[in-house]
């Protein structure tokens, strides 16, 4: 047995389990037969922050070697790719760009597998215009607990199983492959408008009135500065750059994938470096370096989408104590609750540097999918003793506003709070109980949340 210590991107809850690579469909079936009462769960690139991709004491299937791109259909009006579950968005993007194809949904990192993208129903800066990842999946093959492989489509016979698998955190079965709708693009660059906003009111107003003019929109905001400038932000919005917008040097090779990486954060990094002082300095710098108002700047993929990917393993800067990412959404009607949450975070004394604010568009049919029309906010906070109190206070605000937390980020919710946040939980349970009555697919997250 290959016992491994597994944990999520937040590096908090470490548990021990058997980690077994799966390279073929037959190996996946074999692993399913071998799994004991403790069950099994798929693991991709480990970017879930909490305990979603670990099954302590049981079997964890490492799917990153099930990574073939099976078909690229770039002809016709409806381009698609068919890939195995372990293909990362990074790999897919590099493979698809020469065909003039673009991955429809990109989260804050490209280091996510297709299986993970479906299981967490990931979203990106274009949610308000193009929805979450599940909206773009045309079909997928799911290995069920009984060994059967079923092909699922969003509107077919097993539509309920399809949508339970989207956002289902790997608990309905093992996604083996998927066909994903792609978008055409003429360049790998973005035309970006940047605005500094004075405070939270200014920010929300600009997003409400201006977002619809852009495919992509997101704001970084300062959660450290209090008082009149509370919630000051840098708003970046953009569209795919058209050829005529590119400077001549880039126009020669407009589909070139440019994602430079400067280095890797060393494995030994002490606790406490993200503190009030460094967070203040970082927030000031981030805000000041942004232009007050700039239009039409051409940015590459890393600049616009994944500024954090420029250093690998950036989660290590929080030290061995780890950190927590709190991402919630509240409906647009609950803007007041949203403001209260922002004030509470800024005044809590906990420091968060990476604060992302976004407007979501409509959600999809998945009972456990996170996005709903409303404001979503993400903060990264190093673990400390008093953090629990802040999180519980935020939970109350979110619950009171009819909002919820994102399971791919969550590492500390309790089962009762979770059930109140996801009113369609019973629908999910009914589908899961039908296809996996013994709950052979299980994870630390499923046990923690009583899923």
Q: Does 277 bind other proteins (CB under 8 A)?
A: no
Spatial distance between the Cα atoms of 21 and 84, rounded to a whole number of angstroms: 14
Q: Does 415 bind other proteins (CB under 8 A)?
A: yes
Q: Does 95 bind other proteins (CB under 8 A)?
A: no
What's 124's DSSP letter? -
Complex with other proteins: residue 25 or 387, whichever CB lies closer: 387
* Per-residue tokens: 428: 């999910």
Q: What is the 3-state secondary structure (H, E, C) of 61-109?
A: EECCCCCCEEEEECCCCCCEEEEECCCEHHHHHHHHHHHCEECCCCCCC
Nearest distance from C-beta of residue 347 to other proteins, angstroms: 16
Spatial distance between the Cα atoms of 234 and 43, rounded to a whole number of angstroms: 34
Counted residue by residue, the chain has a size of 451
| 307-336: contacts with other proteins (CB under 8 A) | 322, 324
| 175-194: contacts with other proteins (CB under 8 A) | none
Q: Does 34 bind other proteins (CB under 8 A)?
A: no
Binds other proteins (CB under 8 A): choice among 48, 56, 109, 327: 56
CB 34 within 8 A of CB 76: no
Binds other proteins (CB under 8 A): choice among 23, 29, 38, 340: 38
Among the listed ranges 83-91, 109-117, 171-179, 382-390, the one in contact with other proteins (CB under 8 A) is 382-390
Complex with other proteins: residue 191 or 325, whichever CB lies closer: 325
Complex with other proteins: residue 16 or 430, whichever CB lies closer: 16
Of the candidates 322, 351, 358, the one whose C-alpha atom is nearest the C-alpha of residue 220 is 358
Spatial distance between the Cα atoms of 278 and 397, rounded to a whole number of angstroms: 28
Complex with other proteins: residue 187 or 417, whichever CB lies closer: 417
* Per-residue tokens: 449: 């949340």
Q: Does 413 bind other proteins (CB under 8 A)?
A: yes
Spatial distance between the Cα atoms of 92 and 103, rounded to a whole number of angstroms: 8
Among the listed ranges 94-102, 125-133, 214-222, 383-391, the one in contact with other proteins (CB under 8 A) is 383-391
In 3-state terms, what secondary structure has residue 4? strand
Among the listed ranges 96-104, 152-160, 272-280, 413-421, the one in contact with other proteins (CB under 8 A) is 413-421
Spatial distance between the Cα atoms of 256 and 258, rounded to a whole number of angstroms: 6
Among the listed ranges 12-20, 134-142, 211-219, 331-339, the one in contact with other proteins (CB under 8 A) is 12-20
Nearest distance from C-beta of residue 146 to other proteins, angstroms: 24
Q: Does 281 bind other proteins (CB under 8 A)?
A: no
| 387-406: contacts with other proteins (CB under 8 A) | 387-389, 391-393, 395-396
Q: Does 429 bind other proteins (CB under 8 A)?
A: no
Q: Does 26 bind other proteins (CB under 8 A)?
A: no
Of the candidates 447, 450, 451, the one whose C-alpha atom is nearest the C-alpha of residue 17 is 447
What residues pair up with 264 in beta bridges, in sequence order? 312
Token pair 């489509």 is at which residue?
153
Q: Does 348 bind other proteins (CB under 8 A)?
A: no
Complex with other proteins: residue 17 or 207, whichever CB lies closer: 17
Give the DSSP H or E segment for 115.
Answer: helix 114-119
Break the chain down into helix, strand, coil percent, rounded to 5: 30, 25, 45
Residues binding other proteins: what is the number (CB under 8 A)?
37
Spatial distance between the Cα atoms of 398 and 162, rounded to a whole number of angstroms: 28
* Per-residue tokens: 203: 């920010």
Q: Does 13 bind other proteins (CB under 8 A)?
A: yes
| 57-76: contacts with other proteins (CB under 8 A) | 57-58
Among the listed ranges 52-60, 99-107, 172-180, 214-222, the one in contact with other proteins (CB under 8 A) is 52-60
Q: Does 15 bind other proteins (CB under 8 A)?
A: yes
Binds other proteins (CB under 8 A): choice among 39, 46, 50, 124: 50
Nearest distance from C-beta of residue 410 to other proteins, angstroms: 9
CA atoms within 13 A on the CB side of 231: 18
Give Cα 333 distance to the centre of its chain.
24
Spatial distance between the Cα atoms of 261 and 169, rounded to a whole number of angstroms: 30
Residues near other proteins, by CB under 8 A: 3, 5, 10, 12-17, 38, 50-51, 56-58, 322, 324, 383, 385, 387-389, 391-393, 395-396, 411-417, 444, 447-448
């Amino acid at each position: 047995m290959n016992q491994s210590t597994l944990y999520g991107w937040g590096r908090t809850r470490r548990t021990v389990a058997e980690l077994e690579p799966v390279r073929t469909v037959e190996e996946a079936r074999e692993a399913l037969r071998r799994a004991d009462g403790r069950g099994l769960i798929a693991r991709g690139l480990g970017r879930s922050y909490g305990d979603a991709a670990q099954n302590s004491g049981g079997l964890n299937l490492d799917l990153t070697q099930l990574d073939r791109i099976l078909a690229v259909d770039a002809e016709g009006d409806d381009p698609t790719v068919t890939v195995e579950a372990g293909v990362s968005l990074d790999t897919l993007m590099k493979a698809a760009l020469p065909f003039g194809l673009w991955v429809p949904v990109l989260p804050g990192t490209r280091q996510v597998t297709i299986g993970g993208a479906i299981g967490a129903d990931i979203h990106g800066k274009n949610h308000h215009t193009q929805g979450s990842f599940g909206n773009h999946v045309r079909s997928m093959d799911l290995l069920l607990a009984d060994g059967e492989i079923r092909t699922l489509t969003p509107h077919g016979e097993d539509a309920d199983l399809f949508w339970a698998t989207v956002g289902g955190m790997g608990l309905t079965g093992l996604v083996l492959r998927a066909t994903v709708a792609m978008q055409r693009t003429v360049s790998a660059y973005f035309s970006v408008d940047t605005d500094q906003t004075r405070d939270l009111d200014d920010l929300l107003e600009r997003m409400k009135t201006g977002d619809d003019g852009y495919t992509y929109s997101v704001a970084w905001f300062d959660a450290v500065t209090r008082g009149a400038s509370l919630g000051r932000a840098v708003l970046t919005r953009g569209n795919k750059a058209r050829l005529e917008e590119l400077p001549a040097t880039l126009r020669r090779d407009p589909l070139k994938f440019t994602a430079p990486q400067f280095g890797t954060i060393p494995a030994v990094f002490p606790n406490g470096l993200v503190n009030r002082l460094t967070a203040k300095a970082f927030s000031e710098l981030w805000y000041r370096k942004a232009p007050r108002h700039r239009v039409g700047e051409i940015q590459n993929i890393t600049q616009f989408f994944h500024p954090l990917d420029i250093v690998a393993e950036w989660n290590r800067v929080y030290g061995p104590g780890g950190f927590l990412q709190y991402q919630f959404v509240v409906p647009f009607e609950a803007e007041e609750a949203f403001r209260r949450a922002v004030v509470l975070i800024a005044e809590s004394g906990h420091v968060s540097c990476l604060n992302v604010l976004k407007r979501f568009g409509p959600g999809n049919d998945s009972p456990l999918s996170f996005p709903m029309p409303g404001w979503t906010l993400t903060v990264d906070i190093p673990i400390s003793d008093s953090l629990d109190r802040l999180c519980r206070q935020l939970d109350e605000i979110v619950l009171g506003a009819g909002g919820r937390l994102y399971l791919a980020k969550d590492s500390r919710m309790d089962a009762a709070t979770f059930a109140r946040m996801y009113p369609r939980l019973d629908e999910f349970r009914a589908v899961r109980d039908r296809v996996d009555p013994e709950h052979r697919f299980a994870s630390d997250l499923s046990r923690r949340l009583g899923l």
